[in-house]
Amino acid sequence: MSVDQRIEQLRSTLSLEVGRLTSYDDVEALRVRFLGKKGLLAELMVFLKESGPEQRPLMGEKINSFKQEVTGHLDRLSSSWKAKERSSLLEKEAVDPTLPGRQSYLGRAHPIQSMLQTVLDILISMGFSIQLGPDVDTDYYNFEGLNFSPDHPARDMQDTFYLNQGFLLRTHTSNTQVHVLKSHAPPVRVVAPGRCFRNEDISSRSHVFFHQVEGFYVDHKVSFADLLGTMDYFLKRLLGSETKTRFRPSYFPFVEPGLEVDVMCRACHEKGCRLCKQTGWLEILGAGMIHPSVLLAAKIDPEAYTGYAWGLGIERLTLLEHGIPDIRMLTENDLRFLSQFP
């Protein structure tokens, strides 16, 4: 068989296969069959290899001419089928201008972030400045500098997430207090917002991570009355003048004396529920006068300066404000729940 006869056979085969095409993918498959490295046109190179020197240029010209013919034909078919399929797709996805448009929803702040911003706005208006502290810190700034004894239960692995090389995830934003007092001379009036981590059982009242705002004020002649006045004014601004509060003595290593502040539970309105442990009250913050040992650790003379400190949980305030019965709802990212908050 001569090369001319083989080319005519291939031309007939191509014509037959073109009549069977049903899609753009079929065209590309046919391209591979004819023009691929092991395709039908590659067989023609055998004729070129077996021909003599005088015949080789003419034969090469015939093979190249046929290859260009096949390539051009397949390119036209490819463009035709691609346009046909695009047109068919557009017909299927045709836009009906009489249909109503899709509703777009505006983004909104998470209720925790919204409550945090409200708290900070009030405190800034009261003369406090904002200072951020590290989420990952050392034992000194999280415990030792705050007068925690070496055998304090909070240092145990059961309560604190310890990392490598002596670092840990802070259990409160009080670590910022140590950083600030060691680097700034009094007077200091600061609030420190941030996220905290504790190795606790997750329940309706507590989680392994939460948001806290630490506030402290150090100056000459700061008294316990200043602390009570600050807390009273702040809570009335935040929760309203009709909100019931109560103050209870309590112990914290870094304050002396210490107290806790409870607020009437809005989830049950003092009737008792799972959130308030059937008491009708919800503890939202701890406070007290800064312990002299904490001031001495920061090289501040406790005879010349005094101060108060307090810390409140943002999640607890959010539950209280909106009557949410379970803290876990704030971290589940359920849009049905989150979309209820303006």
* CATH number, position 267: 3.30.930.10
The DSSP secondary-structure symbol of 104 reads P
Put simply, whether the predicted model's pTM sits higher than 0.85 gets the answer: no
Q: How far is CA 260 from CA 8, 214, 231, 255, 288, in A?
A: 98, 14, 11, 12, 8
My answer on whether 135 and 231 are in the same domain is: yes
My answer on whether 302 and 333 are in the same domain is: yes
My answer on whether 132 and 174 are in the same domain is: yes
- Partner residues linked to 31 by β-bridges: none
My answer on whether 123 and 260 are in the same domain is: yes
Residue 129 in this model has a pLDDT that exceeds 80: yes
Residue 215 in this model has a pLDDT that exceeds 90: yes
The pLDDT value given to residue 302: 93
My answer on whether 88 and 221 are in the same domain is: no
My answer on whether 80 and 184 are in the same domain is: no
Q: How far is CA 235 from CA 108, 129, 158, 208, 219, in A?
A: 25, 18, 33, 26, 23
Phi-psi region of 283 (alpha: psi -120 to 50; beta: other; left: phi over 0): beta
Residue 304's nearest CA partner among 207, 219, 205 is 219
My answer on whether 88 and 115 are in the same domain is: no
In a domain, 234, yes or no: yes
Residue 142's nearest CA partner among 162, 167, 170, 166 is 170
My answer on whether 88 and 118 are in the same domain is: no
SS3 at position 121: helix
In a domain, 150, yes or no: yes
Start-to-end C-alpha separation, the chain: 84
The pLDDT value given to residue 93: 67
The pLDDT value given to residue 196: 93
What is the residue whose two structure tokens read 């945090």? Answer: 116
**Order of strands, sheet of 245-252, starting from the edge strand that comes earlier in the sequence:** 129-130, 188-197, 209-219, 306-313, 281-290, 255-264, 245-252
Residue-wise pLDDT tens digits, 99-123:
888 888 778 889 999 999 999 999 9
Dihedral sign from CA coordinates of 30, 33, 35, 37: positive
Helices (H), the chain: 3-18, 24-35, 45-50, 56-92, 111-125, 139-142, 175-183, 224-239, 292-297, 314-322, 335-338
Residue-wise pLDDT tens digits, 288-336:
999 999 999 999 999 999 999 999 999 988 888 888 888 899 988 888 8
Give me the chain's average pLDDT, please.
Answer: 86
In a domain, 105, yes or no: no
CB 322 within 8 A of CB 341: yes
In a domain, 83, yes or no: yes
My answer on whether 226 and 187 are in the same domain is: yes
My answer on whether 333 and 190 are in the same domain is: yes
In a domain, 37, yes or no: yes
Beta-carbon contacts of residue 312 (< 8 Å; ≥ 6 apart): 119, 212, 213, 284, 285
My answer on whether 51 and 79 are in the same domain is: yes
Residue 56 in this model has a pLDDT that exceeds 80: no
My answer on whether 79 and 198 are in the same domain is: no
Q: What is the extent of the structural domain holding 332?
A: 111-338
- Which amino acid would we find at residue 272? G
Total tally of structural domains belonging to the chain: 2
Residue-wise pLDDT tens digits, 160-183:
899 988 899 999 999 999 999 999
What is the residue whose two structure tokens read 């003599």? Answer: 52
